[in-house]
Amino acid sequence: MKNRIKVLRAERNMTQEELADIISVSRQTINAIEKEKFDPSLPTAFRISKLFNLPIEEIFFYQEAESVKER
């Protein structure tokens, strides 16, 4: 799932470690989410949304794989 976490974090001069501590996950989890290798749980997505004061839809976007779109 695509997301804007890295940009939002950078706008606030926040490290991955700081974000991870605030939302109670590991720095590795934040890294994996930012690299789109891991989709956060719904509770984690809500905590991120609340922290950045944005709706979830403005942080995370679903993009179908090309092979699915072509069908």
Q: How many Cα neighbours within 13 Å face the side chain of 62?
A: 5
The count of structural domains within the chain is: 1
CATH code for the domain in which residue 36 is found: 1.10.260.40
pTM exceeds 0.75, yes or no = yes
User: What pLDDT score was predicted for residue 65?
Assistant: 60
User: What pLDDT score was predicted for residue 63?
Assistant: 78
Domain that holds residue 18: 2-69
From first to last of the 71 residues of the chain, give the pLDDT tens digit.
999 999 999 999 999 999 999 999 999 999 999 999 999 999 999 999 999 999 999 999 987 765 545 54
Among 12, 44, 42, which Cα is nearest to 26's?
44
